[in-house]
Amino acid sequence: MTPARTSTALSRTWRPDWPCPVGAVLGVHRRGAGDPTYRALPSGTQVRALRTPVGPATLEVDPLGTDAHVAARAWGPGASWVLDALPRMLGADDDPRGFEPPEVLADAWRRQRHWRLGATGLVWESLVPTVIEQKVTGQEAFTAFRRLVRRFGEPAPGPRGEAGELWLQPTPEQVRAIPSWEWLKLPVDGGRSRPLLALARVADALERAGREGPEVFDQRARTIPGVGVWTSAEVRSRVFGDADAVSFGDYHIAKNVGWALTGEAVDDDGLAELLEPYRPHRHRVQRLVEAGGLGRPRRGARMAPRRHLPGRTG
């Protein structure tokens, strides 16, 4: 069923107690420049299409104003829910106190000192793109997610406006109905479609686990075949604002963090050793390396997009 389009919006203003960088906090949810669920406008306004526990919503958030307030508008059945959740989504619950970055990241931390980890509380909307990103290049993952949303999702509520048409990603029920051959057209291979189908069957239970906290979610999600430490960490950092979620198993992160901290690429074991002194803020170290572009020079082989799946066109 297509959500009704209406120009009637709910709105709120909120005054954070720090200079909140709205785009930097919300931007972690954007899956590539063509993400149909997200728009970043030239004005700095961020627009997201979300499925909340009470229905779909479109959320539009302006950058911090000169009056130190953030203004937001929302449309759809989930508008009240998403506006109530706005402070948490922008990092109000994150507490960086006690974090002392490695000396080599001190400048990066000073530049990023107002950045916070937001928490959406929405497990399914983070799981879908994260599983699609497993073990493939960003280019392949973003293409597949864009096609999935446009083919099997639905238009988001609210007026099109400057952001254009936004789309809601498919529900667990819609994902369960996708035939195997359609996954390959996206392209999403069986190593990723099977976990997504398994997750769709227990989506309600995982949302309940999400309300119990990151540790409970981690334990339960990783009982699903195909869901490992990397997927759990990527979801926990976005859903819970988990400042200790480390993306072990990533193609680049261990090498990049190792290079930034020691001048040498390391594996996951080396990454764990390097980050151990920074508990419970290990994700902040990972994030500073990423945000500062401090990873190793890209002179060696890169992961290449696969070209043998039916949905690939070159």
* 55 bridge partner residues: 52
d(CA 215, CA 245): 10
DSSP H helical segments within 27-154, as ranges? Answer: 79-84, 86-89, 106-111, 123-132, 138-152
28 within some domain: yes
Q: Which helix H or strand E contains 174, and what residues bound it?
A: helix 172-176
Give the amino acid at 233.
A
Per DSSP (E only), the strands in 18-99 are 38-40, 46-52, 55-61, 70-75
DSSP H helical segments within 47-101, as ranges? Answer: 79-84, 86-89
In tens, the pLDDT along 132-152 reads 999 899 899 999 999 999 999
Query: What pLDDT sits at residue 296?
Result: 78
Query: What pLDDT sits at residue 160?
Result: 78
In tens, the pLDDT along 175-197 reads 999 999 999 999 999 999 999 99
86 within some domain: yes
Query: What pLDDT sits at residue 128?
Result: 98
Cα torsion angle, 209, 122, 35, 183, sign? positive
**Residue 160, burial from CB neighbour count under 10 angstroms (0-12, 13-18, 19+):** exposed
Residue 253's contacts (CB-CB under 8 Å, 6 or more residues apart) are 246, 247, 271, 286, 289, 290
Query: What pLDDT sits at residue 239?
Result: 97
60 within some domain: yes
314 within some domain: no
Q: Which helix H or strand E contains 167, and what residues bound it?
A: strand 167-168
Cα torsion angle, 29, 135, 215, 267, sign? negative
- Expressed as residue numbers, the domain containing 41 is 10-95
For the whole model, what pTM was predicted? 0.89
Query: What pLDDT sits at residue 216?
Result: 95
Query: What pLDDT sits at residue 297?
Result: 77
**Residue 18, burial from CB neighbour count under 10 angstroms (0-12, 13-18, 19+):** middle
d(CA 138, CA 208): 30
Q: How many structural domains compose the chain?
A: 1
Query: What pLDDT sits at residue 161?
Result: 75
d(CA 161, CA 177): 32
212 within some domain: no
Residues of the chain with pLDDT under 70: 1-7, 298-314
18 within some domain: yes
36 within some domain: yes
275 within some domain: no
